[in-house]
Chain A
Amino acid sequence: MLTSAFTGQIIVSGKLFQLLTALTVGILTYIAYHYGKQGRTWEIRQLDALEAIYDGIGRAAETGRPILMLPGISNLGNPQTLAGLTLFGEISQRSAEIGVEAIASASSTAVITATEAIVRGAYTAAGKPELYAPGKYVRWFGGDQFAYAVGSAGQIMSTKPSVILYAGYFLFDVIVSGDMGSRVGAVQIGGTLGSMEMISMMCDHIFIGEELYAASAAITQDKMSMATIAGQDWVKLSAVGLMVLGILVKMAGSDAILNLMGM
């Protein structure tokens, strides 16, 4: 057999399928990138939590209470923090336009700087640059995980926001601020790939898993982020296809697919 001669001499035996999978992932990713570069866009399906954010902005306008955004305990290198800040950019822009205050607090000083820049940009874009003042909307309570949790809980108590958005990297610390959020009766929306169960316990609406990234791509309509998501979707679809094919073959009483996979 060609494969058996091939494996063992050039490819380590039993790893041919793994290598083919890696190549497939590579090719699909590159095709998606290529389409993205050519300007192709994809429509991202409706995300419940994103709709809830839009509703929340309206609710904040009705009640006159602010919207609080927490981008988590990680720094700017973390894609989750970046996705969270993208969401905050959109929220602060929309809020500035209709006169709702969008406030934030972060744990990393780099994130604080980025958040300040976002707020300033939002007020400028909304034509109200005079409303912006440094330190007015963004607060820092120290770099430690729990200092941040306690600080933001204090911020929630004093500002009584109508909506709280947790988007970024969170661990168990979120319980402290989440508990306070539910005490003041805020609608809580959250997404993280850190301690997802704690976020889901506290929040009324959640971004499950990678929905957080999808939401940030849907908001910005950035072609390259959409291309990344589309590329991943194709790989996921291939995985589902392989599973379904394997199940059908298995139901027919054969282990052919499992043997092919080397599992």
Chain B
Amino acid sequence: MSKTLTYYRTYVIRALIIICMIATLASWYLVSPPIDALANELSIWNMNIVTFTLFVGVITILSRYVQGVKERADNWVFMLYAIVLIVVWIIFGTFTGIYADIYQTAFLSTKITLHISILGQLIFFMTSAAYRLFRIRTTRTLLYALCTATIVLCNSPLLLGPFPVVDKISFWLLNNPSMSGSRALMLTGGIGGAVLGIRILLGLEKGALRATEEL
């Protein structure tokens, strides 16, 4: 593509970003029915466009796996199996619909079971980590080990049964010291996000725009 076209394209893209941002912001702060209508229409368009991104994953994965099988890369047998599974699953799912009982059973027995057991078994790594990582060497590790052990014990029915007050302790800890740390992070994170938004609006943020400009 010629340089002039690229140049105009960049401007069109920036203008699009700015129009969308101003519309969504202005519809919130200002009294103006036309802007409200525009912002609402843009939100619905956004929903519709995002639907298509659901297909991006399958295109990249399939192209990578097909390449892998062709080149007999490591694990190519697994890749071939994955390609077959993807195709079969899509046909099966489209045929039954996502709200059918059989689809639900198939999905729960495979993907969800795998995910739950992967997340669940992390507890074994955590337990082994508890042995090595919570060794009290500094005030930091002391505080850390104390906090973790307290919350682990205070949520345990072994203590909750005979001493109901430990529930109050665990909630007090979570809702006061822990909450404040979390709140400070939320507040500064919010400020970081708002500043990022302004920088995108003013066209200063190359990071987020790179997604559109370097394509």
Enumerate chain A interface residues (CB-CB to B < 8 A): 8-12, 15, 18-19, 22, 25-26, 29-30, 33, 77, 79, 82, 146, 172, 175-176, 178-179, 182-183, 193, 196, 200-202, 209-210, 228, 231-232, 235-236, 239
Task: Across the interface, name the chain A residue whose C-beta is closest to B130.
Answer: A201
Closest CB of chain B to A180's CB: distance in Å? 9
Give every chain A residue within 8 A of B25 (Cβ-Cβ): 22
Contact in complex: A201, B133 (CB < 8 Å) = yes
Interface size on B (CB < 8 Å)? 32
A11-B29, A232-B195 are contacts. A179–B129 as well, Cβ < 8 Å? yes
Give every chain B residue within 8 A of A18 (Cβ-Cβ): 29
Contact in complex: A175, B191 (CB < 8 Å) = no
Assembly CA distance A30 to B144 (angstroms): 40
Among A9, A22, A82, A202, point to the contact of B194 (Cβ < 8 A). Answer: A22
Q: List 7 A-B contacts (CB under 8 A).
A: A11-B31, A26-B201, A79-B207, A175-B125, A176-B122, A232-B192, A236-B191
Give the contacts of B187-203 with A (CB-CB under 8 A): 187-189, 191-192, 194-195, 198-199, 201-202
Assembly CA distance A11 to B125 (angstroms): 54
Chain A interface, >50% SS class: helix
Assembly CA distance A18 to B30 (angstroms): 11
Task: Across the interface, name the chain A residue whose C-beta is closest to B186.
Answer: A209
Assembly CA distance A33 to B203 (angstroms): 11
Among B30, B125, B185, B210, point to the contact of A10 (Cβ < 8 A). Answer: B30
Assembly CA distance A8 to B133 (angstroms): 57
Assembly CA distance A79 to B122 (angstroms): 27
Enumerate chain B interface residues (CB-CB to A < 8 A): 25, 28-31, 118-119, 122, 125-126, 128-129, 132-133, 144, 148, 185, 187-189, 191-192, 194-195, 198-199, 201-202, 204, 207, 210-211
Closest CB of chain B to A178's CB: distance in Å? 7
Contact in complex: B198, A26 (CB < 8 Å) = yes
| Contacts beyond the supplied A11-B29, A12-B30: 14 A-B pairs with Cβ under 8 Å | A8-B31, A10-B31, A25-B191, A25-B194, A29-B202, A77-B210, A77-B211, A79-B207, A82-B207, A172-B122, A175-B122, A182-B129, A201-B144, A210-B192
Assembly CA distance A67 to B63 (angstroms): 34
Assembly CA distance A101 to B142 (angstroms): 34
Among B132, B188, B199, B210, point to the contact of A228 (Cβ < 8 A). Answer: B199
Task: Across the interface, name the chain B residue whose C-beta is closest to A33.
Answer: B204
Among A9, A175, A202, A228, point to the contact of B31 (Cβ < 8 A). Answer: A9
A10-B31, A15-B28 are contacts. A29–B199 as well, Cβ < 8 Å? yes
Contact in complex: A11, B30 (CB < 8 Å) = yes
A82-B207, A175-B126, A178-B129 are contacts. A30–B187 as well, Cβ < 8 Å? no
